[in-house]
């Protein structure tokens, strides 16, 4: 493995170095080049299968890594130093990533010039609000795993361009030295590698494999109905208006999760996808939902509420889409969450608006109602401030948020881990884009988990909600079981 602590001569300026690379329509080619390095991450726009995304970001070997478990965050540097802290994890991230929110540079067209990449698990919300401890905590992954990466490969699928971005200034601010020359040589060598131009053939000849057992739910139909009845009792009592309730599906697996991810991204191309290689597991996310994006002073969130499966025939598909657009129940779910997110953005934004309400978006497996909420970031605030004070996302908790989270803790038998948290980046120039981690699988030891859920309101029909919770992740489970079921 390269020595990333080696000293590299040269003077670091505020401007990142931008080195053109060979553009690849499938970013899996570039991820294959760096995947062997520690903590490799690929934020994946789903191209070419998804028409909604544009940029892919790939990086590995962070200069420092923050991992939060319960009340403690461990900070590990690539030169061997370690620190521990009980401070707010978002505050620690602000300390380690000194973002200049209004920094203008020659490469503002790039979404990421080095910075933070990783995930913020749903259960990180316990660091922000006092929550009861009722659900079983049986997934050993950290609540937060975020690295500070002073370099990245960025692919622009709209312009069909690719770059290696090196931010020596960020590296020096973190402290210690970083061997960027190794990264440059790795990228240069990969572009000349014949395998680089025939990745599918290379994967077929790879001796790695992936196997999985059948998925099993942590709730039977009777348990699910009882939980929904309890939620509707709380709604009638005035405790809440909406609760996002989910069931978990788990299986045993062996082999390389990246093989599974590549098959899943073909089956369900999604604009906020991502793959993370962790020390003791992996994250395979096929999310369609943006949580929060920050571009300069412009802030945007795009909550999804309202879902129906795709039809088998064009006529049935169009009928399903029309039904969803005219469903008062689904529109009511969406509007409740829009109101919650307007309040969340207002903590750090002015001119909060809703330019699009209940817009239809179509994906491989379902139709969704998607709204857009925007705001203008206050001069005193940063992207991390907005993320922290809107976390976890309202679309996957309910309204009011804290009471909904308490009910989720009471009625879901197991903790959510990363599910319904967020995956994304925070660039050193203040730009940010994060997802809501739905349609997401987590590998922990020899177990793989995914979740399906939905917003429950007073008018919800239990059997329909149960079917919808399965439909949202059925394509993931069916694809893995069909392709990789163990003999």
Among all residues, which ones are annotated catalytic?
Answer: 289, 305
d(CA 242, CA 124): 21
**Cβ proximity of 4 and 60 under 8 Å:** no
Residue with tokens 């994946």: 44
Q: What's the Rg (C-alpha) of the chain? A: 22
Q: State how far Cα 30 lies from the chain centre.
A: 20
Which of 10, 23, 38, 3 is CA-nearest to residue 185? 3
Give the DSSP letter of residue 485.
B
Pairing between strand 281-287 and 161-166?
unpaired
Q: Which two tokens stand for residue 385?
A: 């401030």
Nearest-CA neighbor of 253 among 465, 448, 53?
448
| Stated length of the chain | 487
For residues 92 and 78, is the Cβ–Cβ distance under 8 A? no
As a whole number of angstroms, the distance between CA 468 and CA 481 comes to: 20
Q: Are 293 and 432 in contact (CB under 8 A)?
A: yes
Q: What is the DSSP string of 153-167?
A: EEEETTTTEEEEEE-
On whether the CB atoms of residues 125 and 392 are closer than 8 A, the answer is yes
Structure-token match 């726009």, residue found: 45
The Cα–Cα gap between 421 and 396 comes to: 9
Neighbours of 14 (CB within 10 A): 14
Q: Which residues contact 329 (CB under 8 A, 6 or more apart)?
A: 457, 459, 460
d(CA 121, CA 2): 30
């Amino acid at each position: 493995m390269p020595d990333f602590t080696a000293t590299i001569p040269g003077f670091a300026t505020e401007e990142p170095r931008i080195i053109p690379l060979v553009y690849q329509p499938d970013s899996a080619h570039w991820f294959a080049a760096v995947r062997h390095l520690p903590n490799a991450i690929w934020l994946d726009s789903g191209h070419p299968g998804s028409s909604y995304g544009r940029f892919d970001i790939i990086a590995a070997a962070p200069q420092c890594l923050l991992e939060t478990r319960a009340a403690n965050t461990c900070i590990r540097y690539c030169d061997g130093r370690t620190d521990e802290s009980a401070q707010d994890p978002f505050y620690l991230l602000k300390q380690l990533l000194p973002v200049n929110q209004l920094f203008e540079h020659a490469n503002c067209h790039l979404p990421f010039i080095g910075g933070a990449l990783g995930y913020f698990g749903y259960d990180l919300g316990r660091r922000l609000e006092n929550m009861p401890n009722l659900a079983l905590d049986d997934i050993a992954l950290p609540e937060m795993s975020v690295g500070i990466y002073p370099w990245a490969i960025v692919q622009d699928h709209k312009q069909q361009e690719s770059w290696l971005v090196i931010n020596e200034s960020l590296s020096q601010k973190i402290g210690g030295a970083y061997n960027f020359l190794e990264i440059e040589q790795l990228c240069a060598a990969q572009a000349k590698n014949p395998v680089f131009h025939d990745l599918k053939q290379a994967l077929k000849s790879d001796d790695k494999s992936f196997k999985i057992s059948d998925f099993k739910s942590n709730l039977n139909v009777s348990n699910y109905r009882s939980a929904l009845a309890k939620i509707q009792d709380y709604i009638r009592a005035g405790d809440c208006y909406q609760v996002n309730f989910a069931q978990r599906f788990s299986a045993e697996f062996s082999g390389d999760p990246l093989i599974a991810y590549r098959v899943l991204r073909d089956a369900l191309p999604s604009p906020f996808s991502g793959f993370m290689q962790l020390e003791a597991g992996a994250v395979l996310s096929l999310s369609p939902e943006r949580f929060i994006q920050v571009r300069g002073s412009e802030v945007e969130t795009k909550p999804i509420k309202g879902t129906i499966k795709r039809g088998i025939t064009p006529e049935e598909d169009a009928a399903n889409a029309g039904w969803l657009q005219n469903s008062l129940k689904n529109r009511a779910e969406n509007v409740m969450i829009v109101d919650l997110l307007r309040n969340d953005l207002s903590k750090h934004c002015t001119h909060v608006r809703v330019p699009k309400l209940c817009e239809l978006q179509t994906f491989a497996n379902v139709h969704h109602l998607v709204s857009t909420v925007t705001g203008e970031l206050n001069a005193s605030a940063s992207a991390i401030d907005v993320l922290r004070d809107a976390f976890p996302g309202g679309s996957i908790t309910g309204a009011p948020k804290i009471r909904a989270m308490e009910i989720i803790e009471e009625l879901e038998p197991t903790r959510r881990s990363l599910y319904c948290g967020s995956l994304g980046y925070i660039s050193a120039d203040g730009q940010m884009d994060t997802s809501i981690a739905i349609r997401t699988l987590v590998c922990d030891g020899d177990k793989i988990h995914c979740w399906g859920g939905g917003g429950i309101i007073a008018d919800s029909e239990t059997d329909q909600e149960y079917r919808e919770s399965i439909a949202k992740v059925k394509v993931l489970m069916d694809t893995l079981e069909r392709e990789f079921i163990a003999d």
